[in-house]
Every structure is written in C-alpha cells, then in structure tokens.
Structure 1
Amino acid sequence: MTTDTTTKDTAPDATTPDRTVLDARGVTMRFGGLTAVRGVDLTVRSGEIVGLIGPNGAGKTTFFNCLTGLYVPTEGEVRYKGTLLPPKSFKVTAAGIARTFQNIRLFSNMTVLENVLVGRHTRTKEGFWSAVLRGPGFHKAENASRARAMELLEFVGLAPKAEHLARNLPYGEQRKLEIARALASEPGLLLLDEPTAGMNPQETRATEELVFAIRDMGIAVLVIEHDMRFIFNLCDRVAVLVQGEKLIEGDSATVQGDDRVIAAYLGEPFEGAPGDEEAAEVHAAEAHAAPPAQAPTEAPAPAPTEAPADTPTEAEPGKENDR
C-alpha cells in the first residue's frame, strides 16, 4: 500500500481557470431563536482570493463553520467542485477543503514537523494492520509524508525549526505552522480565519506574500480579516456580511466606496439594513399582543375654582403683616 502524495500542481483540474471551487447557496444557520447566518450565497473560483469582512458578530466564523462541516446549515447547501459536501468535518477535509482557526489550534507538545504530519492523515492510505506490522509499504508511505511535510515547512520558512516544539515558536510562526498543516491535506480551497490577528506590520506583510504564493500554487483562498488594508490589497473580490446577511460583494473599489459598508462599520443605521425587516415584524407582533388601553373608571376630580374676592387667602411669604 502507498500514500497518495499527489500535490495540487498535478491534481486533475486543480488549475483550471474560472472553475467554481466553492458554491454556497442560501446558507442559513439558526441557533434556537437566533439566526446567525441568513441566506448567504458565495462562490470562489480556482486561483482566486476572496475576502469576507464585516463588523464583529456579523456571522463570518459561523459561515466558515458551515462550509467546513463543523455546523450543519439549517438551510441551504455547500458544494465543492460541483459535489454536495457531507456534514462531517473530516469528510470535508478529505474532499479538498482545509482551514485555519481564529484562535491558534496547534498540538503544542508536538514538534513542528509532527504537527504538519498530522495534516497528512487524510492523504495516507495505510491502515491499522500496516501500522502494527510496519512493513515496507508503511515505511515508504511514512518517508513520503515526511518529505512532503518538509517541503511545506520550507515553503512557509519553518524548515530550520522542524524539531522544535510548537509551543516554543513565536506567535507569527505559529500562524505559519497552522497554514502549513492545513496545506498538508493538499486542499483545493484554503479557508483562513483572521490569519494576521495580533501581528505587527512586518508579519502581516509576510503573511500577505505567503497567501499570494499559495494562490500561485493553484489553491483558491477564502479569508476572513479585520485588517482592511490587508484585505483590499490581497483579494480579487470582497463580500461583506452584516448581521448574518450578505450586504454587498465586488472588487475592492466597489466595496470601499459603498456608503452602506461604511455605515455598518460605524454602527450607523441605514435604509434597507439587514435585520430591519425582522425588527419591524417583532415590533408589529409586540404591538398586536399588547392589551388595549382601558378608559379610566373614576370620574376626574373637579377643576379648582377661583376664590371669591372677599374670601381671605393665605398671605405670601414675607407679607404676613400686609393683611
């Protein structure tokens, strides 16, 4: 038995121009009475970098979780290269979609090389008995996986630290290691969730160059980020989520010039904002359910009348001796 070490450069149709890699249609995710994502459509084509932005709480990471099988969408469907994705994260990875996380999730007590080898498991065909018997096929597959892992560490600039523990890497290099581990599954689509969070300008620029290099390998990229300069320099298209709905999608110039996007980031209301219709329905329901106002049962007190002219009144303060 052997290991599938096919890279994306040789994978069939990996670099076919304008081929739709990801097709998400009407993705909706509800948690009880809360709708976190509502009817989002998004496509990503091969060799393309697409950005997903929006204010905090807009539903970006929830949408990522729906794409990668961590959540099963309440409504809608997600297709990868025309095939409907199963609602299991490990099957989504095997299909060709890999991701990183907003909070780094490395195996801190494993070496840098071992972390990348973990990402190879979906491309390894060795079974239980092969691992137990450790025959020639097992050693061949293991050597192939190590060679590929070292190639990826060289690609992200971490080859000299292959035997270091992951927890001992600086923050920026941990981010690179997570990307290398994702690439080890040989994806056709890579999802990056805030890859430059907490980085200084030099590290951000290095990450930008790394993402361009990944794109040049023929891998499509979908990235969430709050650094607008990074997003607009990097992406071919940008989609904006606001309150779980897609507000606009287009090139960087189109999105930057849209007044609704600016208003959404500033927290200012605007006509037709996502959630307005739902809020109006809630207010209408509350008004319909409120009990009608009841008429007063007691007669109103009579209005005071002016005292007759010859009726003595209380003297104003300080004028007690003027009577």
Structure 2
Amino acid sequence: MTTDTTTKDTPVTTTPGNPVLEARGVTMRFGGLTAVRGVDLTVNSGEIVGLIGPNGAGKTTFFNCLTGLYVPTEGEVRYQGQVLPPKSFKVTAAGVARTFQNIRLFANMTVLENVLVGRHTRTKEGFWSAVLRGPGFHRAEAASKARAMELLEFVGLAHKAEHLSRNLPYGEQRKLEIARALASEPGLLLLDEPTAGMNPQETRATEELVFAIRDMGIAVLVIEHDMRFIFNLCDRVAVLVQGEKLIEGDSATVQGDERVVAAYLGEPFEGAPGDEEVAEVESAEAAHEQADAAPAEAEPVDAAPADAAPTDAAPTDAPTETPADTPAEATTDAAPGKENDR
C-alpha cells in the first residue's frame, strides 16, 4: 500500500487566450421536456464570461451539465481539450470548481475546516500514513492548513478561521464558499449568482474579489441577475432564453440587442416558447433536482408530506418553527426571498 503524502499545491496553468472550457451542443432533457438546447460556449484563460437570462432560462441546469452533476443528453464538455467525466468529484479533480446558488456550507464545521474540505482533491495520503500519522502525514496536513489560511486571508476571513460557518453573516458565507472552491486549485471557477441577496457594498467587494481571482490566472464563468455587476465584470456575456443561447458578445452588443430587452421585459419574440412550455420545463428540472438530492440531504424535521392536504383540525399547539436541534450539517439556504432559478 502506498504511503504517499504529497500535497499538490500548484493550480493548473494555461497559456493566456487558449480555450479552458469548451461546451459544444450541450442539450439536457428531462423526459420529453428540453431544459437546455444545443448550447455552445467557450471560456478562454484569463477571461471572465457572464451567463445571463430570465428566471427559468436554464442557466443553473447548464452549470450542472458543465460540472458533472447532470450528464448532458447530447453534446460534450471539454476542459483543456479533454472531455470531462460525468462525475462531479472527477470534474473537480480535473480543475473545475464551482459555487452554488444556494449556499452549501458545513454549518457545524469551522471556517478553516470548510476550506480544508476543498483541499481533498489536492492532498493524497496513503492508508498506513493516515492510520499511523507519521511525519509525512503531519507535513501534508500542515501544508493543507497553511494553504487554507492563505485563501482565507485572500477573501478576508482569516480572522474568523475558528468561527463556526453558520455564525457568519450572509455575505461572508458567500466568500467562504468561494475560498473552499479555490482550495481545489482550479483552472476554471464557476460562480452561480455570487451576489444574490447582497447589498451594494458587498456586491462591489465581490466584484473586486472576482477580478483578483482572474489575476491569479483562473478563468471565471459567472451566472448573475445583477446586470450592472455582470456588465462591469465580464469580458463577454452569453444570454440564455428558454434553454437556448440567444446571443453572445461584449457588454455593448448584448445590451443593445432588442431580443435581449424583450426577453427581460417578458415580451414575446419570434420563435419564443409559450408560458406553458416554460412552466413544464421548470417543473421537470425541479423534480429531477429533488430526486437526485433526496438520498443525500437532510430534510427539516417538521416538514409535512408534500401531498398532505391542509386541515382546520390541526392542534393549536403544533410547532410552527424548525426545532433548535435540527441537524446543523444540512446545507445552508440562500438569502430569504431568493428564488431557486434553474
């Protein structure tokens, strides 16, 4: 058995301007419904690319296809010329990291421990090394901790390394999720609505953080609804409408396209699907997401069955809030009022 305890700290490097991510003809169907249809997208090294579109446009579904959470029905996704495997942990190991629309932190772990979780793809300990905890194991552990602290310093959370992640303000939880993604030393970072629920000051800080990540040599693909943020940030912007790429170009080109304006105002344009078709796609995506998440995620202890009918005979002393001892390892939800855009 191996006793290798090497820690790979060096991120994957690319020649500036070369394609990092290439998605070709990506299509995702749920039964007979098509959520993403024939989308092509390229992200080059040293580049920040935005992905925008109305609610239900298929942006998060497309992200899930890129990161191995979904296996595309058609098309392929390549990272640095290699087809990505249809497993999320293998995609991360290849050099693609992401954050989620709904924050997913380990609530009962410290800030430092959350970042150390992200180091697992770059740290390799053999069985006997882990059992015996020899000098090699401790060297690897110390190297991972040092790198995690560097990343916390980078996002401005080093002073809260020993705090529980659940006690962080919302904006700092977003930063922590980015730090955890960076811990896997990616060549490409995918951010799913990183400023959702933030005030203008927090949004500006996030913008500066993304620029700093780009300056580290990491390409960035970002979904966002804040148009001022996305157009200030991105070199190129692609627009999805009902699962299809409508247009791609610089900020001025996208903002001046009448079809983009119509899509955001809810005005129909030639070839646009009707409301019923859009609703069916959204429902199918939600069902697929729940089916995948059901075995892995804890449900609130006071949740009623989904098909339970309301009744007037419910006891007046029935609990109305989640008990305080609900398992804290359940994933952290997004900001109040934030809809789950698929």
- Structure 1 length as normaliser, TM-score? 0.82
Whole-Å separation in 2 of the counterparts to 1:228 and 1:162:
33
Q: Does the 8 A contact of 2:102 with 2:334 survive in 1? A: no
Relative distance call for 1:300 and 1:36 in structure 2 (3 A) is closer
CA shift, 1:309, in A, is 92
Relative distance call for 1:114 and 1:253 in structure 2 (3 A) is same
Relative distance call for 1:297 and 1:115 in structure 2 (3 A) is closer
Q: Does the 8 A contact of 1:2 with 1:140 survive in 2? A: no
Relative distance call for 1:182 and 1:5 in structure 2 (3 A) is farther
- CA-to-partner distance for each residue in 1:281-301, whole Å, 9 max, x for gaps? 999999xx9999999999999
Give 2:25's aligned residue: 26
Whole-Å separation in 1 of the counterparts to 2:230 and 2:315:
67
Higher mean alpha-carbon deviation, 272-281 vs 243-252, is at 272-281
Whole-Å separation in 2 of the counterparts to 1:177 and 1:316:
15
Structure 1 or 2, whichever has the larger Rg, is: 1
CA shift, 1:139, in A, is 0.3
- CA-to-partner distance for each residue in 1:23-76, whole Å, 9 max, x for gaps? 000000000111000000000000100000000000000000000000000000
CA shift, 1:316, in A, is 72
Whole-Å separation in 1 of the counterparts to 2:182 and 2:171:
17
How many pairs were matched up?
Answer: 320
CA shift, 1:321, in A, is 77
Identity value in percent: 90
Relative distance call for 1:102 and 1:292 in structure 2 (3 A) is closer
* Structure 1 residue ranges without an equivalent (≥5): none
CA shift, 1:272, in A, is 3.8
Relative distance call for 1:291 and 1:197 in structure 2 (3 A) is closer
Higher mean alpha-carbon deviation, 244-253 vs 299-308, is at 299-308
- CA-to-partner distance for each residue in 1:254-295, whole Å, 9 max, x for gaps? 000000000001111112436799999999999xx9999999
Relative distance call for 1:268 and 1:145 in structure 2 (3 A) is same
Secondary structure of the residue aligned to 2:284 is helix
Could you say what the CA RMSD is over the residues aligned between the two structures, in angstroms? 19.9
CA shift, 1:302, in A, is 71
Secondary structure of the residue aligned to 2:69 is coil
CA shift, 1:125, in A, is 1.0
Secondary structure of the residue aligned to 1:246 is strand
- CA-to-partner distance for each residue in 1:188-243, whole Å, 9 max, x for gaps? 00000000000000000000000000000000000000000000000000000000
Whole-Å separation in 2 of the counterparts to 1:315 and 1:292:
21
Relative distance call for 1:277 and 1:39 in structure 2 (3 A) is farther
- CA-to-partner distance for each residue in 1:167-195, whole Å, 9 max, x for gaps? 00000000000000000000000000000
CA shift, 1:79, in A, is 0.3
Q: Does the 8 A contact of 1:8 with 1:217 survive in 2? A: no
CA shift, 1:13, in A, is 6.8
Q: Does the 8 A contact of 2:101 with 2:334 survive in 1? A: no
**Larger RCO, structure (CA 8 Å, separation 6 or more):** 2
CA shift, 1:129, in A, is 2.5
Whole-Å separation in 2 of the counterparts to 1:232 and 1:78:
25
Secondary structure of the residue aligned to 2:70 is coil
Secondary structure of the residue aligned to 1:191 is strand
Q: Does the 8 A contact of 2:116 with 2:144 survive in 1? A: yes
Q: Does the 8 A contact of 2:5 with 2:137 survive in 1? A: no
- Structure 2 length as normaliser, TM-score? 0.78
Higher mean alpha-carbon deviation, 41-50 vs 270-279, is at 270-279
Relative distance call for 1:247 and 1:3 in structure 2 (3 A) is farther
